Amino acid sequence: MEKYGYIRVSATDQNEDRQLVAMKDLGIPEENLYMDKQSGKDFNRPEYKKMVERLRVGDLLYVLSIDRLGRNYEEIQNQWRILTKEIGIDICVLDMELLDTRRGKDLMGTFIADLVLQILSFVAESERQNIKVRQAQGIKAAKAKGVRFGRPVKKPPTDFKKLISKWERGDLPLKDLLAACDMSESTFYRRLREIRIEEKGNSGLS
Q: What is the pLDDT of residue 81?
A: 87
Confirm whether pTM is higher than 0.75: no
DSSP string, 155-190: PPPTTHHHHHHHHHHTSS-HHHHHHHHT--HHHHHH
Q: What is the pLDDT of residue 26?
A: 94
Catalytic residue (choose from 10, 39, 186, 206): 10
CA–CA distance, 152 with 135 (Å, rounded to integer)? 21
Confidence label for 203 from pLDDT (cuts 50, 70 and 90): low
Q: Is 10 a catalytic residue?
A: yes
What is d(CA 80, CA 91) in angstroms, rounded to the nearest whole number?
Answer: 8
Report in angstroms the alpha-carbon separations of 117 from 21, 81, 91. 24, 11, 12
